[in-house]
Chain A
Amino acid sequence: MSEVDYADVQGLVRFGYGRLTSASYALVRVKNVAAAKAWLRAASVTSAVEQKPPPKTALNIAFTAPGLEKLGVPESVIAGFSHEFRGGMAQESRSRQLGDVGDNAPSKWFWGGYGREPHAVIMFFGEPDQFDSFVQTTKGSSWSDAFEEMTWLGTSNLDGNEPFSFADGISQPQIDWEQQRRTPCTQLQYTNITALGEFLLGYRNEYGKFTDRPLLEPDATSTDLPSAGEAPAKKDLGRNGTYLVMRQLEQDVRKFWQFLYEQAGGNLADAAQLGAKMVGRTLAGDPLAPTQDEPIPGVDPKSAQQNQFTYESDPAGAHCPFGAHIRRANPRNTDFPEQHLSALRKLIIMLGFGPKRFYDDLTSSVRFHRILRRGREYGSELSPEEALQPGPPNESPRGLHFICLNPNISRQFEFLQNAWIMNTKFSGLTGESDPLLGNRGSLPGCPVTSAFTMPEDGGLRRRVCGLPQFITLRGGAYFFLPSLRALRYFAGAPNG
């Protein structure tokens, strides 16, 4: 098993650059191919090599399918990328799957919709005092010849909270960089350690297999590329790269807190409790589901209070509702609905004679659906108290530039968004989607999707109805975050 060449991986895969609190994403279209390629060749893209002291700035770059086409990457090479990446996020059938309808529809996006796809996203990170000069120097003199700026997505540092004031980014999968993980046929215990191939192309995934990516016949242009793990005669354009999903999620902070406050009968503490039920964590980030004493592989004991839990301790959802955001996004389950199984019991369950209660075994095994989140907030901070006041006219928006990394968009991001977040039938529920992200749109036969249900132990559930849409999608695209060698391949590709 080959070691990961960190020098070939873009830094964003390994680091969130938390210390670099300033960040900005330039969405660009290629104006002049030759100039763009020259700029890309000269750009000093930050790798995943650990540096001491840590760098004060970082630069990472990803491309859309039209972007690669524009750079002159041959059609036969682009055909090796995934269906989702080539089709793009804004396709109509994809919008239905992702819940990008109504106010979330691509036709209403600020960027990324039909005819407004960026070619690339160029991500700048830096310490605040160095940031502006870093951006200026990096752009250099040829920037404006090379690119047409569509928009700059600015970010803000909310000290680890998302705009609704809940602590964010608490749970991330632990990447198995050393490739020690033997991907088992069945995983009977929840683990937070996830195969490297679930985050980087060119390595084995949770099925023990390689995910599709362009494998090229060796020729003059591809000599620099690594060989493919499963086909050593081929050159691997995907290895050490991954897909980057970007979605601009505008959060209506006032609407959120005002709704909670009203539901709580004008009591802010109760409003915060209801909010916690929706998120699945308190404002401070503590999970509602009880934590356990037994360590979980891949969960740092230091963060035990916030991450050492599964929903085994809360099977009825009385603490953390089934529909809570973090329970939808990561159900923390295993391949089987029971732990510690004998071979016979496994067979019995496989044949359909296992647990027979209504809510048993309704959710897919999570290890095939993890993502690495790398997003950043934008807009100014607004506390829950402040959010109860009416906003000034033309208030600047707040939200999250959601970014996630995954080599299999359809099995990872899209599955998560479709089957878990937006699904009005998640885990035996009906008439509700994610309490935070739901679009509240009606479906044929399901006129209402705006409820939120909180099961109670030994009694009738509590249900909040008429949740408005708190979060609106303002733009989005699928990018390919290449390895540094693949980046050089693109930058040096023909027609340059």
Chain B
Amino acid sequence: MTPQSNFMVVAAIKPEREVELRQLLDSMNRAPGRVDPNNELIPFAEFDELHFARFVILDDKTTEDIRVYGLAPRQYPLYLAFLGDVDGDANAFLGKLIKRAGKGLVRIFSCCEGFTSETNLLAWMKQHHAPAIAAYVNWRGRTVRQIREEAALYEAVQSYIEKNAGTFEGLAPRELHEKLRSFVKAEKSGGRLMLSRENPTPIGWQIKNLLHLIGLPLLALLVSPLLVVLAPFYIIALRRLEKSDPEVCPTADQKHSEDLSKFEDHDVTNQFSAMGSLKPGLVRLLTTIGVLKTVNYGARHITRPGRLGRIRSIHFARWVFVAGTERMIFCSNYDGSVESYMDDFINKTGFGLNASFSNGIGYPRTNWLVLDGCIDERNYKEYLRRHTLPSQVWYKAYPGLTAVDLERHTRIRQGLETPSMTDDELCQWVALL
């Protein structure tokens, strides 16, 4: 199994180069929201292990919101973020990326502070790495290569069925399964279809994963006496904050909302980046860290492949602190329109959403961390829209395919590689075709 990993480079933009940077990023697109996958600066399509990538200028317009706490807003530099999700080790990917697209990266990053002609690109990128505090992968181990091979398999099986529609209709599932198995076998041996075996799971990754799996519960167990003692104080403090924290949910600016729309719905999948400041104080910071560590643990060790709670439309997602612990960004790649994403959020995982987002300034009022909050649909949607940032450049390695498509393809393949199934399994498998 090849585990997925991610990278994110965050660097302050030189104010005098912002215009140039924006032009550079725009030049990677054919039209707003539609990247040229073979663009000169970074030809994304040439990297077989790259699932998603994006450039976002972290133009957070909500930093003034902290005034509701009587605090003066800080002047943050304008940051550029470059992030992606890859198969295998992220550092190995960055090395490969620099080799092929080093010139383009230099042109982009030389618009950032601290980057000169003498700078070592890889060292600089590592130095500006912003690690995710929580990350989600829809289907750990499914590589871009596997996705493409399984998509080709699906197409081949579909056209084979169309050619033989007359004979296949009314065929018992078991016979159909046999016929398709021999077809695929023939296609594979004829070299027309490729279904690569999984690579062995890297030993280092396995050890780290195991340590993480047992480490966090162990740590929780160790400090549990302390947690039990502190819990009442924490709960009282949290409840007090929940009752007094002000909501900041003005209607999102019409132009901002329309500008975001220009980058949306060009593919069946969309990008999402939302940024904001954490509520001041240690309670909120610790809550954020605790919740996100838990989310990360659950996403890594507990969730079923293809599902984040009940949600089946998210390919990759992550939460990242931006330069310190005052501000956070949430980035995801999801299927469907933003309205249906919000719908899934509110109606399917409102509790998780509240726990992870309610520590942001202005979030609709929650109770007991997981209740209410986003159920205030109007405030929640305006809140999120206002905090959403356009992705200047966004790349996806498999246009036209949703996470559910990928699951269908994988299930079809698994069925084809299983010589015998029960009648019920066979019926369900045939229904995928």
Contacts and interface: CB of A to CB of B under 8 A. Distances in A.
A356 B344 CA distance: 18
A358 B377 contact: no
A362 interface: yes
A443 B376 contact: no
A286 interface: no
B433 A460 contact: yes
B131 to A, nearest CB: 25
Nearest to A355: B310
Contacts of B234: none
Given A425-B268, A460-B169, A365 B347 contact: yes
B422 interface: no
Contact of A459 (B161, B173, B261, B311): B173
Nearest to A361: B310
Interface string A396-439: 00000000000000110011001100011100101000000000
A97 B349 contact: no
B343 A353 contact: no
Interface string A354-378: 1011110110110010000000000
A426 B374 CA distance: 25
A244 to B, nearest CB: 19
Considering residues B252, B337, B346, which has the most beta carbons from chain A within 10 angstroms of its beta carbon? B337
A207 B376 CA distance: 7
A349 interface: yes
A460 B171 contact: yes
Contacts of B307: 352
Interface stretch (A83-91, A250-258, A485-493): A83-91
B176 interface: yes
A351 B340 contact: no
A93 B261 contact: yes
Interface string B364-379: 0000000000011110
Given A94-B261, A350-B349, A459-B430, A425 B310 contact: no
B161 A418 contact: no
Contacts of B402: 425, 430
Interface in B324-355: 335-337, 339-340, 343-344, 346-349, 351
A352 B258 contact: no
B433 A411 contact: no
Contacts of A423: 336
A415 B349 CA distance: 19
Contacts of A455: 431
Contacts of A425: 268, 335-336, 402, 404-405
Nearest to A349: B310
Contacts of A354: 310
Considering residues B161, B265, B401, which has the most beta carbons from chain A within 10 angstroms of its beta carbon? B265
Contacts, number: 152
Given A418-B337, A459-B170, A316 B431 contact: yes
Contacts of B344: 364
Interface in B297-338: 303-304, 307-312, 335-337
Contact of B347 (A86, A359, A364): A364
Given A94-B261, A358-B407, A443-B268, A353 B304 contact: yes
Contacts of B408: 358, 428, 430
Nearest to B351: A350
A458 interface: yes
A79 interface: yes
Interface stretch (A44-52, A117-125, A208-216, A270-278): A208-216
B280 interface: no
A132 interface: no
Interface in A201-259: 205, 207-212
Nearest to B257: A83
Interface string B93-107: 000000000000000
A335 interface: yes
B129 to A, nearest CB: 30
Classify chain A's interface size: 35 or more
Nearest to B375: A207
B161 A362 contact: no
A434 B382 CA distance: 30
A465 B339 contact: no
B286 interface: no
Interface in B119-155: none
Contacts of A316: 431
Interface in B58-98: none
Nearest to A87: B258
Contact of A462 (B169, B310, B375): B169
Contacts of A345: none
A224 to B, nearest CB: 25
A209 B377 CA distance: 8
Given A91-B261, A460-B161, A350 B310 contact: yes
A321 to B, nearest CB: 12
Contacts of B117: none
A411 B343 contact: yes
Given A425-B268, A430-B405, A461-B431, A86 B254 contact: yes
Interface string A76-108: 000110010011000111101100000000000
B185 interface: no
A445 interface: yes
5 nearest A-B residue pairs (beta carbon): A445-B400, A445-B399, A93-B261, A446-B400, A352-B307
Interface of A: 79-80, 83, 86-87, 91-94, 96-97, 185, 205, 207-212, 316, 335, 349-354, 356-359, 361-362, 364-365, 368, 410-411, 414-415, 418-419, 423-425, 428, 430, 443-446, 455, 458-463, 465
Given A93-B261, A365-B347, 9 more contacts: A207-B346, A207-B375, A210-B378, A352-B304, A352-B309, A358-B428, A418-B337, A445-B401, A459-B172
22 contacts: A83-B257, A87-B257, A94-B261, A185-B375, A208-B375, A209-B376, A212-B378, A212-B382, A316-B431, A358-B432, A359-B431, A361-B310, A364-B347, A415-B343, A419-B336, A424-B268, A425-B335, A430-B408, A444-B267, A446-B268, A460-B430, A463-B162
